[in-house]
């Protein structure tokens, strides 16, 4: 039977040009994160189904590629529902596997543990341009560090990579879940309504301040409360320093650690950063994942009008899995989006030595062939890329093709 | 709900020490193969189920991790059998996906196309020590090269990697399917019985010459035919040059191209090779996959009493998938086995610069913290790995732990 030639729906074949860029960026990410003391680990792409469907993954749990039981355990005729048929699935992120890994191996790992993970994840999303059902995630997480040393390291490490890739003039937007809560409490929202308020607030960049106000009123919140809430954002517009302004205004509603946290991160990041970016306090930054407990941040590249990575502190999550509280903070770089931007901009991977093509005429006697191979080996050991190919009848066209593939030197070997 | 802490059955978490070695070896493989003009590509880990179950994969097709249909397409109540429920599966090798990739993109690829693939594959085998259900394969394949330039390049490239990893004194065993057939034909076996004869011959290293003879007789083959067949192996024992001996003895049964092929490969490999190995003609080498059509080869490391990689020519396979005949030759390196050997031998990855730990006392004021971060950034830019950690109360123990993780320099920062 003939193969179906296309890859499965929503997944892609990586062509040589893209692969070269992917490899280069992966190497840069690994090398840079390692210089910050991160240690790479890997988990299987397949996870037990219970681990993927325990409500930590939110919407992603609806998008799992599920794997069928095998052998005697598979009973198609007795199965009543999907769950009777599956025992595992493809991971939809790297955070759940990290929590499992850490709970399985904490005794063998350094503390704090600075993990680097680079691996594919799968989500059965509706495919769109630039969004695939298999994609690479690159996460760094610091487990066991309660202080903002973690946040500062994550931001410095991640922005250093963007700087090395020549991204300039970008923003790291930063906020703190405790700031979000303090603002809502100050205005008079009840704690149960925070999530709903934040979902609306998250739309500020799309619908503006007036839109947010309208939505909150529509949602039935008290007009005076909404008024007081929106006044904070009015005040922020003219405030010289947003954190200082909110700290003064919110008074006891804002834990002093939250204010210090944001000031300290800003001070250290600005003193140490090497890339050209602005750390921007953004009190409207929400980030969807409800497991965040403190600092949250997001990368905003000019080239891409959407988040290109982000993360934050999630001090409660690992404990839910392991039974032991472990402070944690992570940053996920938008690998696929960065590759897309680099490809769109015609990014060229720095050259790795000469590319030389040896063209061998047909009928070259075997003793000469062996000499050519020996010479090619010498050249390779000296750091060159050497391609050996049979000389085609249309040698001119052949050399043009090779030149398109980056071969700049040619050497020809004739039988006579 | 608590997570199950263990990885799924038969798959493994990769710990930092192993990961370091894996990354190093992967980098070496990529760099070396690229110096031979191979181009890395990637296909999705998931393939359409039809592509995985079209009988090209032999026994591996029984070991597929199958992925369930999703949404409306999944009809558990109407399903009669497994196939009604699945639409895809995890790839069990990289050859089937390569054939699909090539058929999908041949027009965009250079000719001949020298492909490098490094990726995970999955087989629901019974787990054993050192054998996992998810494992990495590293394949090089040359598509579109009919001559033994392909074989010579593959052998030189692959052995160069083993040499760089300090493997010495190993064997590349080589044979040709046409030699196997000529020997069987000469002895008088009928063509239909070749496969059965070769399965028995393949056991020679375990059961010896007498064992093979006994088995063939038991299988009901004519005693005179078996006698004549075994006489070839007797003759080989005293022959100075196996290929020459068989060429003389087999006469017209052996195509002259087959003899030339083996001689030419030997001549060029020996003239050009950089690693310390022997290219060994082995007329008992069979290799299981029935799709091989010409040269076959296998790596035999002293450290591992089993094949550690192999490959051969499969000129008929791509055409079966694409409808267009394409000569092809490939070599798969036994990545997981090599990693196992390196781990067992205490292999150390060459150091990548200094590893320095900065210990920060608790309560260090934020302006000092920011100075420490700035200093660390300087050191990182200069090529060092710098880890920032809070100073523990038991500093001595902390530094011992850090030393175990490779940190050789320490710098301490106190609040006063």
HEC states along chain A? CCCCCCCCCCCCCECHHHHHHHHHHHHHHHHHHHHCCCEECECCCEEEHHHHCCCCCHHHHHHCCEEECCHHHCCCCCCCCHHHCEEEEECCCCHHHHHHHHHHHHHHCCCCEEEEEEEEEECCCCCECCECCEEEEEEEEEECCCCCHHHHHHHHHHHHHHHHCCCCCEEEEEEEHHHHHHHHHHHCCCHHHHHHHHHHHCCHHHHHHHHHHHHHHHCCCCHHHHHHHHHHHHHHHHCCCHHHHHHHHHHHHCCHHHHHHHHHHHHHHHHHCCCCEEEEECCCCCCCCCCCCCEEEEEECCCCCCEEEEEEECCCHHHHHHCCCCCEEEEEECHHHHHHHHHHCCCCCCCCCCEEEEEECCCCCHHHHHHHHHHHHHHHHCCCEEEEEECCCCHHHHHHHHHHCCCCEEEEECCC
Q: What size, in residues, is chain B?
A: 416
Shortest alpha-carbon distance between residue B167 and chain A (Å): 17
> What is the pLDDT at residue A1?
52
CA distance A145 to A112: 6
Label the pairing between strands A355-360 and A409-413: parallel
User: Nearest to residue A57, comparing CAs of A132, A113, A136, A121?
Assistant: A121
Half-sphere exposure of A83 (CA within 13 A, CB side): 4
Interchain contact, B3 vs A263, CB within 8 Å: no
At A293, list the tokens.
């407990």
Shortest alpha-carbon distance between residue B225 and chain A (Å): 36
CA distance B8 to B133: 9
Interchain contact, A14 vs B82, CB within 8 Å: no
CA distance A257 to A151: 14
Q: What is the signed CA dihedral for B149, B151, B152, B156, rounded to 10 degrees?
A: 140
> Which of B44, B85, B104 is nearest residue A5 as measured by Cβ atoms?
B104
Q: What angle do CA A309, A312, A318 make, to 5 degrees?
A: 120
pLDDT band at B45 (very low <50, low <70, confident <90, very high): very high
> Which of B42, B51, B85 is nearest residue A14 as measured by Cβ atoms?
B42
Q: Which of A341-355, B266-280, B300-314 has the highest mean pLDDT?
A: B266-280
Chain B residue closest in CA terms to A97: B7
Interchain contact, A23 vs B6, CB within 8 Å: no
Chain A residue closest in CA terms to B269: A370
Measured between beta carbons, the chain A residues lying within 8 angstroms of B388 are 37, 149, 153
pLDDT band at B241 (very low <50, low <70, confident <90, very high): very high
Chain B residue closest in CA terms to A52: B3
Shortest alpha-carbon distance between residue A73 and chain B (Å): 12
- For domain B16-344, the CATH superfamily is Bira Bifunctional Protein; Domain 2 (3.30.930.10)
CA distance B318 to B19: 34
Measured between beta carbons, the chain B residues lying within 8 angstroms of A394 are none
At A92, list the tokens.
């939809």
For B298-322, the DSSP string reads: EEE-TTSSSEEEEEEE-TTHHHHHH
Ranges of chain A with pLDDT below 70: 1-3, 289
Cis peptide bond prior to B375, omega within 30° of 0:
no
3-state secondary structure of B81: coil
Chain A residue closest in CA terms to B267: A370
Q: What share of chain B is helix, strand, coil (3-state, %, to 5)?
A: 45, 20, 35
Interchain contact, B105 vs A13, CB within 8 Å: yes
Measured between beta carbons, the chain B residues lying within 8 angstroms of A99 are 3
Burial of A262 (0-12, 13-18, 19+ CB in 10 A): buried
Residues B318, B102: contact at Cβ < 8 Å? yes
Shortest alpha-carbon distance between residue B360 and chain A (Å): 10
Residues 6+ apart with CB under 8 A from B18: B339, B343
Interchain contact, A371 vs B271, CB within 8 Å: yes
User: Nearest to residue B401, comparing CAs of B389, B385, B415, B384?
Assistant: B389
Mutate to test the interface with B, among A36, A41, A46 (most CBs of B within 10 A): A46
At A294, list the tokens.
């403190």
> What is the pLDDT at residue A72?
85
Interchain contact, A367 vs B7, CB within 8 Å: no
pLDDT band at B2 (very low <50, low <70, confident <90, very high): low
At B130, list the tokens.
């050192």
Is the pTM higher than 0.80? yes
Measured between beta carbons, the chain A residues lying within 8 angstroms of B4 are 48, 50-51, 100
Across A65-79, B23-37, B152-166, B375-389, least confident range: A65-79
> Which of A15, A96, A274 is nearest residue B108 as measured by Cβ atoms?
A15
Measured between beta carbons, the chain B residues lying within 8 angstroms of A260 are 366
> What is the pLDDT at residue A45?
98
Shortest alpha-carbon distance between residue B218 and chain A (Å): 34
Interchain contact, A40 vs B20, CB within 8 Å: yes
At A408, list the tokens.
């700049």
Measured between beta carbons, the chain B residues lying within 8 angstroms of A354 are none
> What is the pLDDT at residue A2?
60
Q: Which letter, b or e, does each residue of A139-162 get, where b requires 16 or more Cβ atoms within 10 Å of its Cβ?
A: bbbbbbbbbbbbbbbbbbbbbbbb
Interchain contact, A54 vs B3, CB within 8 Å: yes
**Backbone phi and psi for residue B21, each to the nearest 5 degrees, phi listed first:** -65, -45
> What is the pLDDT at residue B136?
97
Interchain contact, B352 vs A390, CB within 8 Å: no
pLDDT at B1 over 70: no
Cis peptide bond prior to B112, omega within 30° of 0:
yes
Measured between beta carbons, the chain A residues lying within 8 angstroms of B100 are 3-5, 7
CATH 3.30.930.10 positions along chain A are: 16-344
Interchain contact, B384 vs A3, CB within 8 Å: no
- Edge-to-edge strands, sheet with A328-333: A39-40, A113-122, A134-143, A328-333, A307-313, A295-300, A170-176, A277-281
Place of tokens 């267009």: B324
Place of tokens 């920062």: B413
Shortest alpha-carbon distance between residue A32 and chain B (Å): 9
Distance (Å) of CA B283 to CA B104, B155, B181, B259, B268: 37, 18, 11, 12, 20
pLDDT at B88 over 90: yes
- Edge-to-edge strands, sheet with B307-313: B39-40, B113-122, B134-143, B328-333, B307-313, B295-300, B170-176, B277-281
pLDDT at B238 over 80: yes
Interchain contact, B385 vs A272, CB within 8 Å: no
Mean pLDDT of B164-173: 95
> Which of B48, B87, B105 is nearest residue A15 as measured by Cβ atoms?
B105
> What is the pLDDT at residue A83?
86
> What is the pLDDT at residue A302?
84
Mutate to test the interface with A, among B21, B26, B40, B42 (most CBs of A within 10 A): B42
> Which of B36, B51, B70 is nearest residue A380 as measured by Cβ atoms?
B36
Measured between beta carbons, the chain B residues lying within 8 angstroms of A121 are none
Shortest alpha-carbon distance between residue A253 and chain B (Å): 24
Q: What angle do CA A331, A333, A335 make, to 5 degrees?
A: 160
> What is the pLDDT at residue B83?
86
Interchain contact, A44 vs B11, CB within 8 Å: yes
Shortest alpha-carbon distance between residue B358 and chain A (Å): 11
User: Nearest to residue B207, comparing CAs of B284, B315, B321?
Assistant: B284
- Edge-to-edge strands, sheet with B385-390: B385-390, B355-360, B409-413
pLDDT band at B74 (very low <50, low <70, confident <90, very high): confident
Shortest alpha-carbon distance between residue B190 and chain A (Å): 28
Measured between beta carbons, the chain B residues lying within 8 angstroms of A374 are 271-272
Share of chain B above pLDDT 90, in %: 82
What is the sign of the dihedral through the CA atoms of A183, A188, A190 and A194? negative
- Edge-to-edge strands, sheet with A409-413: A385-390, A355-360, A409-413
User: Nearest to residue A371, comparing CAs of B270, B159, B162?
Assistant: B270
Residues A183, A229: contact at Cβ < 8 Å? yes
A-B interface: how many C-beta pairs under 8 angstroms?
Answer: 312
Interchain contact, B16 vs A367, CB within 8 Å: no
pLDDT in tens, B95-149: 999 999 999 999 999 989 999 999 999 999 987 877 899 999 999 999 999 999 9
Chain B residue closest in CA terms to A387: B37
> Which of A101, A321, A385 is nearest residue B35 as measured by Cβ atoms?
A385
Interchain contact, B6 vs A390, CB within 8 Å: no
Interchain contact, B88 vs A37, CB within 8 Å: no
Partnered with residue A142 across adjacent β-strands are A114, A329
Interchain contact, A19 vs B41, CB within 8 Å: yes
CA distance B378 to A271: 11
Measured between beta carbons, the chain A residues lying within 8 angstroms of B264 are 366, 369
Residues B230, B209: contact at Cβ < 8 Å? yes
CA distance B37 to A241: 56
Residues B355, B376: contact at Cβ < 8 Å? no
């Amino acid at each position: 039977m003939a193969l179906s030639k296309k890859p499965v729906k929503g997944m892609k074949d990586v062509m040589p040009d893209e692969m070269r860029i992917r490899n280069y960026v992966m190497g840069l990410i690994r090398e840079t994160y390692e210089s910050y003391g991160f240690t790479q680990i890997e988990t299987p792409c397949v996870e037990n189904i219970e681990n993927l469907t325990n409500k930590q993954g939110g919407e992603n749990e609806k998008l799992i590629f599920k794997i069928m039981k095998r052998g005697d355990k598979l009973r198609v005729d007795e199965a009543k529902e999907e769950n009777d048929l599956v025992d595992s699935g493809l991971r939809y992120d790297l955070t759940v596997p990290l929590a499992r890994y850490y709970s399985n191996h904490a005794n063998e790992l350094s503390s704090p543990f600075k993990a680097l993970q680079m691996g594919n994840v799968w989500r059965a999303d509706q495919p769109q341009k630039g969004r695939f059902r298999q994609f690479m995630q690159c996460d760094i997480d610091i487990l066991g560090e309660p202080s903002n040393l973690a946040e500062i390291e994550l931001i410095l490490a991640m922005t250093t990579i963007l700087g090395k890739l020549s991204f300039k003039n970008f923003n790291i937007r930063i906020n703190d879940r405790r700031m979000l809560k303090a603002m809502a409490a100050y205005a008079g929202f009840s704690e149960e309504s925070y999530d709903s308020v934040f979902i609306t607030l998250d739309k500020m960049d799309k619908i503006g301040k007036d839109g947010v106000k309208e939505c909150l009123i529509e949602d039935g919140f008290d007009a005076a409360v909404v008024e007081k809430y929106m006044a904070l954002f009015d005040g922020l517009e003219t405030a010289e320093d947003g954190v200082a302004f909110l700290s003064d205004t919110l008074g006891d509603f804002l834990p002093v650690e939250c204010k210090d946290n944001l000031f300290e991160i800003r001070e250290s990041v600005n003193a140490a950063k090497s890339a050209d970016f602005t750390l921007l306090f953004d009190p409207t930054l929400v980030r969807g994942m409800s497991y965040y407990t403190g600092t949250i941040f997001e990368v905003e590249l000019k080239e891409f009008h959407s988040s290109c990575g982000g993360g934050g502190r999630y001090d409660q999550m690992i404990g839910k899995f392991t039974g032991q509280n472990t402070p944690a903070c992570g940053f996920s770089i938008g690998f696929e989006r960065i590759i897309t931007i680099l490809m769109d901009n015609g990014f060229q991977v720095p050259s790795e030595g000469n590319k030389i093509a040896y063209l061998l005429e047909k009928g070259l006697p075997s003793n000469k062939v062996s000499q050519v191979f020996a010479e090619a080996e010498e050249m390779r050991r000296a750091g060159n890329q050497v391609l050996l190919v049979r000389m085609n009848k249309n040698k001119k066209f052949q050399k043009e093709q090779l030149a398109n593939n980056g071969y700049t030197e040619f050497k020809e070997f004739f039988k006579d």
